[in-house]
Structure 1
Amino acid sequence: MFVEQPPKNIELERTVLGKLLSIEKFEIQSKFIDDMDSSFFYLAENVEVFTAIKSCIEQNTLASPIHLIERSMVDDNSLTDILTYRFETNQKMSYKINDLKLLAYRREAIHKANEFICDMMRGEDVVNKSEKFLLETESALTYGKKRKRKTSKQMMKKSLEDVMTGACYKNLVSYGVPFLDARINHERGQTHIIGAQPGIGKTAIGLTIVRNGILANKRCVFFVKESTKEELFERMIAQNTKISYSQFKFNFQGLGKNEQNRIIQHYKIFNDAWSNVHFFGCDDYDHSLSQMDEILSGIIEEHGPVDLVVEDYVQNMPAPRWMKNPPKHEVISYNMEGLSAMHKRHKVAGVTLAQLNRDINGKPHITNLKGSGKLEEEGHIITFLHRERNTQPVEGKIPTEIYCEKHRLGAEFSDITIGLELPGVDFVEMPHYQKSDQPPNLNKPKI
């Protein structure tokens, strides 16, 4: 459930900054700065320039291009781009600032709506939340004219409704973590490789992505070799109910009545959506590329277009029969190239889970992927899950770092912490986690 690129106007941002830097009176420059915030700017370079200007104002100094350059407060290239825009408009500065503000609130609306969708997936009522957000946003918009305020509210409401109904989503993969979903732009025909060491949660995040796809009414296919179809379905129920898989699998009668009812309710939810998901476990197929392609073609022919395909995992796929005792890296290269071609040919968003080499010290990187050459070549997006061996749960969640080392749209990111929530083994947000929150116990957590 990835959003399109957030609403922005880079030219407008540069025009406003250029105008600010052309002002020769401190009082006027200070007045405009007081009405602005760094969130009004989308481009990181523009945020940097605005922060530098604001810093000058806070020191009671007029911010001029020469002043910023002499003190090495901004990059010269960023400033050059901005200064080319400063005389390109006659519109009043206050209107331009308000336009930037509106774009900032629309970006916030998309982020909030992402959160609401995740809440809805977990069965929460978000009507009051969304109404409250709209009221807060309306009061924050400070357009000078009543008509402008009304238009702003209508645009905000439309942005929120578009996200809530899925109208602004063109991408098909959701971690269920709004901050990530707004950053990764995964389109049809692209391959997203997620690498992690054993036990970190590759299958768990694959299930999370499939579950979110099902709940968003997307047709999903999940190929996995190390579990049966029944086990996958039950693990997905465990994720959604936040109940230990082993508990309701082997000790259902020992659960409380509320927990039993919750499991039954979610069985019904996923059974209703079952026509949109196709699980293929170790009891269904031989995990070969040719059979996966054949299965996918059959599903498309019978049910229509498929939105999302998850493969767990590429290094587990066998060599084709015509290869006689090939080296492992050649098998991985062949299968990875084939998976990428399959995603493009069938126009599906592909998520390929991948193993790492075991001799890794510290955070893994692209070179640590087994068969890394072909994986790096074929992957449009490459992200990694990582946590230290002695990481302990914090408030029932095991902090896990996720970071992107390749993105063909240039949206790499790092140092984002998500939580592997116990006992359901589901990835969720941990927005306020700090490493200092780690308890002193050094025993490896059991998942």
Structure 2
Amino acid sequence: MREGSLEAPTRHPLDWENPDFYDEAKLDAEMRRVLDICHGCRRCFNLCDSFPRLFDLVDESANGELDTVASADFKKVVDACTLCDMCFLTKCPYVPPHEFNLDFPHLMLRYRAVEAKKKGIGAADRALAETDRNGKWATLISGAVNWATRRGGPMRGLEEKIAGVDKNAELPKYAAQTLEARAKANPLPRNAAGPGKARKIVLYATCYGDYNDTSIGMAALGVLARNGVETKVLNPHCCGMPKLEQGLIGEVADAARKVAAAFASYIDQGYDIVAPVPSCALMLKFEWPLILPNDESVKKLAAATFDLSEYVVDIAKKEGLAEGMQSIDGGVAFHMSCHSRAQNFGQKGAELLRLIPDADVAVVERCSGHGGAWGYKKGNFETAMKVGKPAMRQLDAVGKKHIVSECPLAGIHIEQGIESLAGDAPKPERVGHPIVLMARAYGLASER
């Protein structure tokens, strides 16, 4: 058997509509096949907590091999997976087209799908994944919600008991007005002579961009308008990443169909679709086509979708950016998030930042440890901080004035971790996305 492959990695569609996908005996056999290969390789020991948990189970078993590990203990491995895809994309030598055909993240997803089908999803976890519903009502009473969910507040102990959200975890704040409403109330004039004047986009607001930090979307709209791009904002439905984490593949497929249908007419009119959150871009571009490989509208959407940083860098390379940017003092520590890396297009966020005059950018390409809603939960938060500590130390050590991650939840988590580090040096200011700094360089306001 050869180790590794010379061909580019490929990914097979998820066979989630096949009854065999949910067959527990067949799942257990595949778990044992894959985990035995992982145990023999151990290349992913430093990625996340799934692999140390697996290796400890094997090393502490009766004969030091996987065959004496109880199947029930595999759940410990599955529960630690954040679906970051880094093992598949950066470490594993046995991904397709290798004959071993390993896709560890999608095997963890299958396990969760089987578990969800058998046992259902708890009420608290189900509620946390309803991001559209939560965002719609939370923006209406954002002051009260932000007070109730603030770290150290009197309500957090109760929230931990009811919802399982660790009381020590910093949570995202909600905006008082959605991005869609802000964009409608404050239309930005487009530079009709700008270098991107032939382009037009629909900004997929996303749950976080619409309901939490609207400064990212407003900055994007401002920068794109300055560069002549015609822009619209739309948030038809959540991309489904929170439900994917829970194994609810059918509900993710429903979301994909709804969003693809909402964007279809715009794509037919020549609009590009741009997502400001890497996880959402990843879903539209890669995960949805694997879940619905025969859906033409999903394929069309995937082909028309760009990550925000990717799109701005593409304008810079092909048409050039509009003049008028000023330098940003103090330098930037840039965290390359896992779901940015998983899009396999290079360090586009860092490239965007270096388009700002005299930009001083230091890049850290390590996992934040957060993993979406996973990192908020009681029992996971301390692990998330442990996994993210190396990235937090590196980002703090470079001594820049600003710290930025394209992944908003990773950015909040990193900021909290840096706050806990020893030392008297001033801590960097967290910025929601590289586009916010570019907007500042253009003299555009984008506060949330």
**TM-score, normalization: structure 2?**
0.23
Which of 1 and 2 has greater Rg? 1
Structure number with the higher strand fraction is 1
**TM-score, normalization: structure 1?**
0.23
